[in-house]
A and B are shown apart, each in its own frame.
Chain A
Amino acid sequence: MRDRFIDTTTTLLAEDPRTALVLADISAEAFAPAARLHPDRVLNVGIREQLMLGVAGGLALTGLRPIVHSYAPFLVERAYEQIKLDLDHQAASAVLVSVGASYDRAAAGRTHLSPADVALLDTLSGWTVHVPGHPAEVPGLLRATVAADTSAYLRLSTLSNAHPHPGDGALVVLRDAGPGAALLVAVGPVLDAALAAAADLPVTVAYTHRPRPLDTDGVRALAGTEVILVEPYLAGTSARVVTAALADRAHRLLTLGVGREELRRYGSAEDHNRWHGLDAAGLRRSLTGFLSPALV
């Protein structure tokens, strides 16, 4: 996904003189060719994340469209007040693109993990959030968000599904278990594990790469009385959205995702998926536990 982001951004910088890229050393080497071609619009401020967002706000105030990129914890968490004030409060907007996700670099430890990024951005208003599930989804999402004039966050990961599901973010049904079945909404790269977990269960599986704004019309159209959310970041991040969408219906909601506890374990992203119950076996355990009263 990072490679597709770099290629697409390099092309956008050449195509549209309104675009600018702000970096804080992360990925700077990969953008060196673009920086040579557009030295005034590829700006590496060094390891200065507060300034990276402040610069993005200033660029936007002059009419440019900044793309801002770093590791997720440094982009979203370290510079949160700059996102809130230097962009939103100024009525300025930008496209933020992170790498690292919840635990792509698990061996790097807590400092490089960012399971709470989407929840933190969700404290703000008007942001579009894309969590692509496949590298081939990235170019279209990046182009669409840069062409828009609102703020957006693209959360890239080394984890991926086998096949891309592009589109605008409306729920896509990949497994239809028929009327009355439980609805599982999978966000981004957790789709394949969710499909495997639900293979022989009465569960309809729908996919989106766009948790904000979540396709609540789609949720209402597909949901029966049981809804399961599977998200590759903090568990429950989208619970409030689904709960509000179904406020007029009796329903049960199960929210699966990354736990809050700091595990203090290294290993791989796949290990962390397993420890957080986001692998196929773990998801299946959670699904059967949630649905068993209905299955009996």
Chain B
Amino acid sequence: MTTLATTTTRIAEAAAPLDGRRPVAPLLERVRAGRQFGANVHSTLDVLWVLYDRILRITPATVDDPDRDRFLLSKGHAVAGYYAVLATKGFVPPDWLDDQGGPESRLGDHPDRTLVPGVEIGSGSLGHGLGLAVGTALGLRAQGLLEPRVYVLLGDAELDEGANHEAIAYAGAVELANLTAIVVDNSSATHGWPGGPATRFTVNGWTAATVDGRDHAALHTALTGHHGHRPHLVVAVIESE
């Protein structure tokens, strides 16, 4: 079982480079409010932090800028770490974290893009984020917006949904180079993905990197490892504890 102490330590480590800035840990604790978090929250936190701290060209001031990078959280249940990171980066007031799911709260157990600044899609039902990401990447390309990149985060169990496979095949076929998918692989798919999730993407022409999902340097290298004319996949492997 992941203890609270383990979690707090890991988040403190994640926030350590942030000298003088608000760390994620106390904010995640405000979201947690004494509840027991499942594996989905912890498995996603590192990649979320690397994205928002080192990769995404988006700030609270640019949430409506057409030239911003897009981050789409497809596995909407991994929301606690997402809210904590958004609060750490100033997208939402930390006060909002205290009442997640409450009658007056803007923060549900799944995120709603119309209620939370910086949230690009409302998600929760699995298998919708990748299709929306493909459409977003196509829309940017059609408008000549070639700088911004679209990142979408899924889980390995979410890949069970067939809608993902429609999007994987099409994005590869049309060489959607401004798209990066991230699959957090904590081996939670009921029937597994023999050969690893990446094989489902690379056979359709994606580039792919599979890395330790807790290794921030490796995540950064993989998340910036896209090149050429192909969509890119990062598999962030989280070993079960």
Chain A interface residues (CB < 8 Å from chain B):
17, 20, 40-41, 43, 45-46, 48, 50-51, 53-64, 81-82, 85-86, 89-91
Contact = CB atoms under 8 A, between A and B. Distances in A.
Contact of A59 (B122, B139, B166): B139
B50 to A, nearest CB: 24
B141 interface: yes
Interface in B136-151: 136-143, 145
Contacts of A46: 169-170, 173
B41 interface: no
9 contacts: A45-B166, A46-B173, A54-B134, A55-B135, A59-B139, A62-B136, A85-B128, A86-B131, A86-B132
Nearest to A88: B122
B113 interface: yes
A64 B132 contact: no
Contact of B143 (A51, A58, A63, A82): A63
Contacts of A81: 125
Interface string B107-140: 0000011100000111001011011111111111
Nearest to B127: A50
B184 interface: no
In this complex, which of B132, B141, B143 has the most chain A Cβ atoms within 10 angstroms of its Cβ?
B132
For the complex of A and B, 6 pairs with smallest distance between CB atoms: A58-B135, A54-B131, A62-B139, A55-B135, A40-B142, A48-B166
Contacts of B166: 45, 48, 50-51
B136 A51 contact: no
B128 A54 contact: yes
Given A45-B170, A85-B122, A91-B113, A54 B132 contact: yes
Given A45-B170, A48-B170, A91-B113, A59 B135 contact: yes
A56 B135 contact: yes
B196 interface: no
A58 B137 CA distance: 8
Contacts, number: 97
A210 B133 CA distance: 33
A48 to B, nearest CB: 4
A63 B139 contact: yes
Given A48-B166, A50-B163, A51-B167, A58 B125 contact: no
A278 B42 CA distance: 60
Contacts of A43: 138
A57 B162 contact: no
B66 interface: yes
Contacts of B143: 17, 62-64
Given A50-B163, A58-B134, A62-B145, 13 more contacts: A20-B142, A48-B166, A48-B170, A50-B131, A51-B134, A51-B166, A54-B130, A56-B135, A58-B133, A61-B135, A63-B143, A90-B132, A91-B114
B122 A90 contact: yes
In this complex, which of A17, A58, A63 has the most chain B Cβ atoms within 10 angstroms of its Cβ?
A58
A46 B130 CA distance: 16
A62 B140 contact: yes
In this complex, which of B141, B142, B167 has the most chain A Cβ atoms within 10 angstroms of its Cβ?
B142
